[in-house]
Amino acid sequence: MSIAVTCEKCGKTLKVDDKYAGKHARCMCGEKLTIPLPAVTSKFEQAVMGAEDAAHKDGKKPSRVEVKDGEVFYQPASFFSFLKKPPKSAKVRHPLLNIGLSGLEFLTSEMLVEGAALALTVKLAGELYPLKMKGTVKWVKKSEKVAKMNQVGVHFTKVPADAAAKIKEVTQKVV
């Protein structure tokens, strides 16, 4: 199993073996990095991820539902990100296209890097509190429908139990 680490200085994402968790390393740009511990998941999250993995093995695509009036705010997820001023992307509203138990898709004008770790805040229409989670960028492509925008696919890596329950509720309402 590998852990993705994003350099705060150059933005490059490195994948390292989880046996190096908690240790220090240097990015190719020279920046000192601390390799985070692997995310601990709840029993609910493990069951959800297991169901999604089984769907992939059967050749099925995990269920996603289109979301109207949903928003995503994101910033690079790193151990020291709380010490720095939030980037512009943390304040800009990015339209949420769809969401499922294993990930989401949204639009952004930025060109994100595949494998980049993100801290996400998701606002769903009609919900009082936003959902907070972490994920990894799985793919990025130019949007065919919206000029000068990119579609980004994110796979969840850490979802609190309350957010996972809300996502499950939203996906079951539509399906």
pLDDT at 95: 93
Confidence of residue 46 (pLDDT cuts 50, 70, 90): low
Q: Does residue 30 sit in the same domain as residue 58?
A: no
Q: Does residue 66 sit in the same domain as residue 133?
A: yes
Given a contact cutoff of 8 angstroms between Cβ atoms, the answer to whether 69 and 15 are in contact is no
Confidence of residue 49 (pLDDT cuts 50, 70, 90): low
Q: Does residue 16 sit in the same domain as residue 82?
A: no
pLDDT at 134: 93
pLDDT at 65: 83
Domain total of the chain: 2
pLDDT at 33 over 90: no
Write out the residue range of the structural domain in which residue 63 sits.
43-174
Average of per-residue pLDDT across 95-99: 93
Q: Does residue 15 sit in the same domain as residue 53?
A: no
Q: Does residue 101 sit in the same domain as residue 147?
A: yes
pLDDT at 117 over 80: yes
pLDDT at 81 over 70: no
Residue 152: partners with Cβ closer than 8 Å, 6 or more residues away: 105, 106, 107, 108, 112, 137, 139, 140
What is the DSSP track for 58-92?
Answer: TTPPPPEEE-SS-EEEEEE--TTGGGSPPPGGGTS
Structure confidence by residue, pLDDT tens digits, 136-162:
999 999 998 888 999 999 999 999 989
